[in-house]
Structure 1
Amino acid sequence: MLIREADTEDWHAVWPFFRTIVRAGETFTCPTDLSEQDGRDWWLLSAPHRTVVAVDDAGTVLGTAKMNTNHLGNGSHIASAGYMVDPAYSGRGVGRALCAYTVEWARTAGFRAMQFNAVVETNVHAVKLYRSLGFEILGTLPEGFRHPSKGYVGLHIMHRTL
């Protein structure tokens, strides 16, 4: 698996699974009816932030990650990231590779920590992955997320020092 910078040509491969994940409404706090253009604008970041794709040997896009500052100004020393793995490739280490990549990017870029502001508590695979990579749950916003089938569930704030 290769992780490389995403370009606008990658969007046609990302959009189908991006749309599926967002419309399911189970893991992201963005509108479930996000248009393709709004999704593209939200996900494909420009420098100094980054968006990458994980591809196999044939060039098939398996997943994607975006990396950015968590806050501006005096909070800009904390990084954040978001991840999407094509469901057809889940369970193959793509998410782990993308998360490890973003942690190293943040460390190399001089960030002091990474923070995820809204990890849905029912997204147990993501929570387990992040914990295995050194993230801790700092707190949970009770009923901070309206899950389409589980009702109101918590949103974790997760953090790790770099």
Structure 2
Amino acid sequence: MEIRDATAADWSAIWPVFAAIVREGETYAYDVETTYDEGRALWMEPPPGRVVVAVDDDGAVLGTAKMGANRGGNGAHVATASFMVDTAARGLGVGRALGEDAIAWATAAGFRAIQFNAVVASNTPAVALWQALGFTIVGTVPEAFASPAHGLVGLHVMVRRL
């Protein structure tokens, strides 16, 4: 697996991963009917943000991440990131590799911490991964996410100092 910066041409390969996860409705508060162009506007963050893809030896997209400053101005010293792993690639270490890449990028870019604003509490594999990578839950907004499978669940705010 290789993690590399995404280009505009990668969107057509990212889209099936993005669309499947958004349509599932279990991990992102995006509209499940998000279109191709709306998805591109949401995910393909321009510089100084960064979008990456994890690809296999044949160049197939296994997952993707986007990262950048969590806020502007006086909050610009804290990064944020979002991750999506293709359903067929789950359990293969893609999410961990993308997370480690985001931590390394944010550290090199001079950020002081990374904050995840909305980790769905019922997404236990993601919560466990982020905790294993040094993130802590600093708060949970109760019943802030409507999970199709679990009903109303909390959204964790998770932070890792760099």
What's the TM-score once normalised by structure 2's chain length?
A: 0.98
**SS, match of residue 51 in structure 2:** strand
CA deviations on 1:35-89 (whole Å, 9 max, x unpaired) are 1101001101111100000011111111000001111110010000000011111
- Tell me whether 1:29 sits opposite 2:29 in the alignment: yes
Output aligned runs, 1:1-162, within 5 Å. Answer: 1-162=1-162
C-alpha separation between the residues in 2 aligned to 1:134 and 1:85? Answer: 20
Which secondary structure state, in structure 1, belongs to the residue aligned with residue 39 of structure 2? helix
**For each residue in 1:101-159, what CA deviation from the matched residue of structure 2 results, as whole angstroms up to 9, or x when unmatched?**
00110000000000000000000000000000000000100001011121110000000
- Alpha-carbon deviation of 1:17? 1.6
2: CA distance, partners of 1:118 / 1:84: 14
* Aligned equivalents of 1:156, 1:129: Cα separation in 2: 13
Moved over 3 A (4+): none
SS of 1:118 mapped into structure 2: strand
The residue identity in structure 1 corresponding to 2:14 is V
Distance of 1:60 and 1:17 partners within structure 2? 11
Provide the C-alpha distance between the structure 1 equivalents of 2:153 and 2:45, rounded to a whole number of angstroms: 29
Root-mean-square deviation (CA, aligned residues, Å) is 0.7
Aligned residues: 162
Stretches of structure 1 lacking an aligned partner (at least 5 in a row): none
